[in-house]
């Protein structure tokens, strides 16, 4: 029997909903501002995709944050500080989630197209189950409803660990991790897929990694837009992405390419080695 893609596992914020991943980003900036600590949007986007307590922990390890915290509180941020920040983070985010749950353009059409091909639709998220329940309920009003949604509570650890992808494979009854694709908008999404042994695809427009709202994109100079997209593409590939697409509309073509590779007996880890070899040979020629 020939092998082909059986399931696609999507991230939520920044991938299928919430263009630019603005809901969590704004809250991270706000909770640090309340403590009179300045954190930049670029710093916030670095750990994006992780569960939110871990995200705050990673921010508190940054030199800029530690230096400010030491100057303000005469100590570096500890676990109790991270707990307090997270306790403040949750209610603010909960109050905003419904406003950032609209599916990104092209997502619903692509999902419908995949389902017609018999492909199952899974999902993982850096949100808690309670957070994701709100987002999913709102997104369903627009017509976006994956077959399942998995958060880190169900498996013990979130990204970049692979366990949420494993749980998707179990619940969707997928015969081989190489028959699954993980699609996401952050480095931790790509790492999650790589660690799980599935195909990892990064999406640029709307992503946290690209870092622009839809309004900013609409008013951006075309040259600047192309340059920023290429910078995001490079970061995705450096993180190990097998494929990088400009928008969700390009996903079906990537799936066709992956199906061709599976027909040739090429699995994700082998494709990674092939790409690394091609880059090495290119660098030697140059």
Please tell me the predicted confidence (pLDDT) of residue 2: 73
Q: What is the pLDDT of residues 40-69, one digit of tens each?
A: 999 999 999 899 999 999 999 999 999 999
With a cut of 80, say whether residue 275 has pLDDT above it: no
Q: Could you give the CA distance from residue 67 to residue 77 in angstroms, rounded to a whole number? A: 10
SS (H, E, C) 134-167: HHHHHHHHCCCCCCCCECHHHCCCCCCCCHHHHH
How far apart are alpha carbons 180 and 199 in whole angstroms?
A: 6
Q: What is the spatial distance between Cα 154 and Cα 118, in angstroms, rounded to a whole number?
A: 26
The Cα 241–Cα 146 span in angstroms is 23
| 72 catalytic residue (yes or no) | no
Annotated catalytic residue within 4, 18, 33, 52: 52
- Pairing between strand 180-184 and 7-10? parallel
Report the alpha-carbon distance of residue 134 to residue 237 in Å, rounded: 32
DSSP state, residue 104 = P
Distances from the Cα of 244 to the Cα of 5, 16, 61, angstroms? 17, 15, 29
pLDDT tens per residue, range 55-105:
999 999 999 999 999 999 999 999 999 999 999 999 999 999 999 999 999
* 11 catalytically annotated: yes
Q: Each residue of 4-43: pLDDT tens digit?
A: 999 999 999 999 999 999 999 999 999 999 999 999 999 9
| pTM of structure | 0.89
pLDDT band at 1 (very low <50, low <70, confident <90, very high): low
Residue with tokens 């309340």: 34
Question: What stretch of H or E contains 79?
Answer: helix 79-96
The end-to-end CA distance of the chain, in Å, is: 42
Residues 6+ apart with CB under 8 A from 217: 205, 225
Helix (H, G, I), strand (E, B) or coil at 113: helix
């Amino acid at each position: 029997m020939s092998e082909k893609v059986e399931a696609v596992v999507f991230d939520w914020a920044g991938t299928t909903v919430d263009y630019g991943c603005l809901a969590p980003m704004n809250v991270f900036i706000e909770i640090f501002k309340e403590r009179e600590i300045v954190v930049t949007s670029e710093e916030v986007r670095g750990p994006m995709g992780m569960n939110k307590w871990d995200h705050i922990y990673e921010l508190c390890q940054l030199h800029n944050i530690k230096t400010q915290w030491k100057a303000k509180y005469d100590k570096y941020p500890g676990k109790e500080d991270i707990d307090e920040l997270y306790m403040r983070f949750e209610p603010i985010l909960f109050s905003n989630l419904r406003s950032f749950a609209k599916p990104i353009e092209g997502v619903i059409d692509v999902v419908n197209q995949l389902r017609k091909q018999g492909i199952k639709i899974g999902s993982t998220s850096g949100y808690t189950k309670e957070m994701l329940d709100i987002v999913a309920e709102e997104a369903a009003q627009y017509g976006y409803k994956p077959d399942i949604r998995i958060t880190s509570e169900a498996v013990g650890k979130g990204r970049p660990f692979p366990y949420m992808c494993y749980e998707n494979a179990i619940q969707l009854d997928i015969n081989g991790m190489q028959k699954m694709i993980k699609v996401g908008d952050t480095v931790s999404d790509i790492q999650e897929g790589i660690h799980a042994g599935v195909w990892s695809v990064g999406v640029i427009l709307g992503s946290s990694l690209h870092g622009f709202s839809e309004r900013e994109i609409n008013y951006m100079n075309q040259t600047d837009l192309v340059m920023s997209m290429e910078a995001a593409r490079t970061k995705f590939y450096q993180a190990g992405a097998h494929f990088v697409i400009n928008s969700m509309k390009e996903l079906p073509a990537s799936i066709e390419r992956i199906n061709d590779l599976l027909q040739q007996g090429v699995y994700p880890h082998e494709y990674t080695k092939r790409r690394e070899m091609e880059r090495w040979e290119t660098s030697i020629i140059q």
